[in-house]
Amino acid sequence: MIQTDMIDKSSVIPIYYQLFKLLEEQIRRGDLKPGEAIPTEHEISSHFEISRMTVRRAIAELVSAGMVYAQQGRGTFVATPKLDNIVFELNDFNQEIKQRGLNYKTTLLEAKIIRADKELRDKFELGEDYKRFLYFRTVLSAEDERLSYEVKYTIYSKSKPILETELKDPSLPGLIATHTEYVPMSAKKVLQVAACTEEEASILGIASNSPVFLIEQTVYDQDLKPVGWSKAVYRGDRYKLTSYDGWYKKD
């Protein structure tokens, strides 16, 4: 089945990791095909003369990589690559810009205290007694080109007034942590496509009705109380999301 000498017990590389890589390679090469059972934990354990717990650690890595699945009482089997689960990480949105080494910066267009209207109170699930919110308008630009425009709202708390015109952390969770007494604990984001409005178009320097990414974000504190809301528009001709799926090699 497998050569014994492919595991080096005296190596600085953990045994479980060597075994994980060994099995992973077997599956990638097709020696073990989807649906087939891999050797039992006891077989591997006795074959390599290593503890069963170490074998289980290696298999756990395979499971979390989605390459095998275990069934109690039956065995452990090679999985079929699932290629329908697309995962886009919005890191891409700004990380890509950073990685390209572009000169990007966030500019604060406006920051003020506003009176709450009903729509805003509804978003924050608040009653009539909450009258004030913080309001921010920011623009992200790179190489003197404006890429995205965002408006943000947070609940106003007197104890932490707006002192700085420059924003250290312009993200919505950052603003909440800096300017309010709430602690951001979770966030919900909804991505849609839209045709940009005239206002957005003029700010971003693109044509009206150009296609854009539209991301609405709600930030919650530890009690799942909404403490921040934002709406961002990203130029459709400057952003894209990329997803890799399946058992691609990482080496």
Q: Give the residues lining the site for its own copies (CB under 8 A).
A: 28-30, 53, 64, 81, 83-91, 93, 171-173, 184-195, 209-213, 215, 219-220, 222, 224, 236, 239-249
The CA-atom distances, in angstroms, between 242 and each of 89, 139, 149, 157, 167 are 8, 23, 22, 39, 29
- Of 16 and 182, nearer to DNA (C-beta) is 16
Among 6, 25, 31, 53, interactor with DNA by CB under 7 A: 53
Give the separation between CA 197 and CA 204, rounded to whole angstroms.
11
If one asks whether residue 4 binds DNA (CB under 7 A), the answer comes out as no
Q: What is the three-class DSSP state of 213?
A: strand
Burial class (CB in 10 A: 0-12, 13-18, 19+), 172: buried
Among 1, 6, 14, 102, interactor with DNA by CB under 7 A: 14
If one asks whether residue 76 binds DNA (CB under 7 A), the answer comes out as yes
Residues paired with residue 152 on neighbouring β-strands, in sequence order:
136, 230
If one asks whether residue 54 binds DNA (CB under 7 A), the answer comes out as yes
Nearest distance, CB of residue 34 and DNA, angstroms: 16
- Of 4 and 192, nearer to DNA (C-beta) is 4
Q: Which amino acid does the sequence have at 113?
A: I
Task: Quote the tokens at residue 140.
Answer: 């992200």
CB atoms within 10 A of CB 148: 24
Nearest distance, CB of residue 177 and DNA, angstroms: 25
- Catalog residues that contact DNA under the rule CB under 7 A: 9, 12, 14-17, 37-38, 40-43, 49-54, 56-57, 59, 70-76
